[in-house]
Chain A
Amino acid sequence: MTKVDPGPGSDLGVSTAASLHAQLEQFATDVGELYRRQKERSEQLEAALSSLRLAYRETVRSMAYVVEAKDAYTGQHLERCRVYGNSLLEAIGVAGDYPNAEFGFLLHDVGKVGVPESILNKPGPLTAAEWRVMRTHPTIGSQILAGIPGMDDAAEIVRCHHEMWSGDGYPAGLAKEAIPLPARVFQVVDAFDAMTTDRPYRASMGVERAVEELQRVSGTQFDPEVVRAFLAIVDDLPVVRA
């Protein structure tokens, strides 16, 4: 089978410099075409990914609204927490590290589904026993998110959104950097929005007084660095439509 035998056609010769040149030019064209196709495909993927993300966010939002509907306090608080939280992560320069933090901002109170309505909406102060139940909601919330792939950062925010810089928060009494950064970010924007929004039991205190209050508890309740970063952007926060 391997006997050397110049069969018919062997006299056609080998490729010349001109034909090689033409072939390499064709390959160069191919490279351009392959690149164009690849780019088109990645643009399609990009678009599909962003519409998936939008759908995902809206699903998370619905889930969060279910919780908030049970609570008396609703409005656009969740959306503002999401938008302000993202702005603050951006300002600190770590937005890219926590792409799913926004889901934690939206779902921070999801664990309240495990707290009886009688406690959530109790008009007067809670008893010690009622507080014990109330304090389970960050843990319940993080457990709800625990099984969802990619939700680790969000679950951390949910678990730690009532911790305090001083270590006096709950559920774990974590202090300072032991509290994940996105959770420290959330605490500041959540408090700011709560203070600058009319609530059923009191009117907004206005931005100026809210800023003073943030400064007052900076270093005890909140991470002072995060408060400083927030105050630098507080006048330029995106407008969230009601």
Chain B
Amino acid sequence: MSLDAGGGNRPVVLVVDDDDAIRGVVRTVLEADGFEVVEAADGQAALMLLDSINGRGPDIVVLDVMMPGIDGIEVCRRIDHALMKVIMLSARDDADSRRRAEEAGADGYLTKPFSAIDLLDELEAMSR
């Protein structure tokens, strides 16, 4: 898997979630709104993809917290936050979970089930 963000001006979003259906819906909605979408099915795939960047990487990462193997918090921790922003998706709505995401460097936090419209709003605010 390699990351080819192309030469366009559209913001690139990396969507990391272990569920195909969720990634599919998110891709459809984001593309319809003008974002370019890249997917990864788990934390390890996401990190490999970010490592393989040669040129332009994603502007924003949408990151599921609960994934098998390397979880979203760990991926978030390893991301270079000077280069991209991160929105976490989590089933947990407690203060502790939010704090952990924040400490890992997350810029946004949506609880699952999340609204695709809220996600769009966050992404648009971030890519402005």
Contacts and interface: CB of A to CB of B under 8 A. Distances in A.
B108 to A, nearest CB: 17
Given A10-B74, A15-B91, A23-B19, 9 more contacts: A4-B69, A6-B69, A6-B70, A7-B71, A12-B92, A14-B18, A14-B67, A22-B112, A24-B21
Contacts of A12: 65-66, 71, 92
B71 A9 contact: yes
A127 interface: no
Give chain B's interface residue range (CB within 8 Å of chain A).
20 to 34
Give chain A's interface residue range (CB within 8 Å of chain B).
20 to 34
Instruction: Output the residue of B74, B77, B92, B113 with the most chain A CB within 10 A.
Output: B113
A23 B70 contact: no
A29 interface: yes
Instruction: Output the residue of A2, A9, A19 with the most chain B CB within 10 A.
Output: A9
A25 B100 contact: no
Contacts, number: 86
24 contacts: A1-B47, A2-B44, A2-B48, A4-B69, A6-B74, A8-B71, A8-B73, A8-B100, A9-B73, A10-B68, A10-B71, A12-B66, A14-B18, A14-B66, A14-B67, A15-B22, A24-B21, A25-B113, A27-B25, A30-B115, A30-B117, A34-B29, A34-B116, A34-B117
A4 B44 contact: yes
Given A1-B51, A2-B47, A20-B22, A9 B115 contact: no
Contact of B78 (A1, A10, A13): A1
A26 interface: yes
A225 interface: no
A-B CB proximity, top 5 nearest: A7-B74, A26-B113, A23-B113, A30-B116, A10-B71
Given A7-B70, A25-B113, A26-B113, A20 B21 contact: yes
Interface in A1-52: 1-2, 4-10, 12-15, 19-20, 22-27, 29-30, 33-34
